Amino acid sequence: MTALSVNINKFALVRNARGANMPDIINISEKCLQYGADGITVHPRPDERHAKFSDLEPLRNLVSKYKNKEFNIEGYPSEHFIEKVINVKPDQVTLVPDPPGALTSSFGWDCEKNKTFLTNIVKKLQNNNIRVSLFINPSIKTLENLKIISTNRVELYTYNYAHNYSKNKLDAIKPYVEVSSYLKKKFPKIELNAGHDLNLKNLEYFLNSIENIKEVSIGHALICDTFDFGLENTIKKYLEISSKL
Ligand code: PXP
């Protein structure tokens, strides 16, 4: 079974459009959990155009009420981000290398160039009992440094897969099979997450092809699907895929 973590950033984007608390993202997150989602993800960016740093504590309190549900915070590990995250103590932090104005995360870490930086941050978060996941490209280049960095998990950046899936799904999945086999062989303790542009069409083949994905975090497509199917039915549709694989 793969855990489904709902990335609620886009609900926060709609809320922020009017400067009031509508929709209430705590209420929406609670519904996601009640409808069966295994966790909630947010990505507070420096400009707070989606989730805000002030959302973190109420979200932490909400998720803590539920057994076996997790709170995941993604973001670039600036000093400000790390301080906030350590105060809130989510179950997991996913570190992404995107610069402050990025539209969305669009590449994984260079684990050679950022080896020392990441090693120190990973240790700091782990010392605070927070599991760490590193966002990585579908390429084994630089991954040998994971030995030193000592992350708990990596999140496979699935944009390339999702965008090539309809052209040729065999080709699209190939780099991900290579990376996951490499990691399994070289670093059997590092667990795998995946995310970005996953949707109801491409999720099943991805999870069928890559063994033992612990968690997928899905935002944009899932939120678009709620316009068609409603939140409860949308979550059920995703769970039908993720919970059986
Ligand atoms: N993983 C990371 C690191 C992300 O930055 C995002 C987008 O915020 C996602 C997963 C989810 O991507 P999507 O919104 O395309 O499902």
CATH architecture of 3-242: Alpha-Beta Barrel (3.20)
Per the confidence metrics, is the pTM higher than 0.85? yes
Q: What is the pLDDT of residue 105?
A: 79
Who contacts 61 (Cβ-Cβ below 8 Å, separation ≥6)?
Answer: none
pLDDT, greater one: 119 or 105: 119
User: 88 alpha carbon to ligand 1 midpoint, in Å?
Assistant: 21
217 lines ligand 1 (CB under 6 A): yes
pLDDT at 212 over 80: yes
Who contacts 100 (Cβ-Cβ below 8 Å, separation ≥6)?
Answer: 45, 46, 47, 76
User: 131 alpha carbon to ligand 1 midpoint, in Å?
Assistant: 18
Atom in ligand 1 nearest the alpha carbon of residue 199: 16
pLDDT at 101 over 80: no
- Please answer whether residues 223 and 47 qualify as being in contact, where contact means their C-beta atoms are separated by less than 8 angstroms: no
Q: What is the pLDDT of residue 245?
A: 62
Q: Active-site residues: which are they? A: 43, 74, 196
pLDDT digits (tens, 9 = 90+) for 157-187: 999 999 999 999 999 999 999 999 999 999 9
7 lines ligand 1 (CB under 6 A): yes
Give the domain ranges of the chain.
3-242
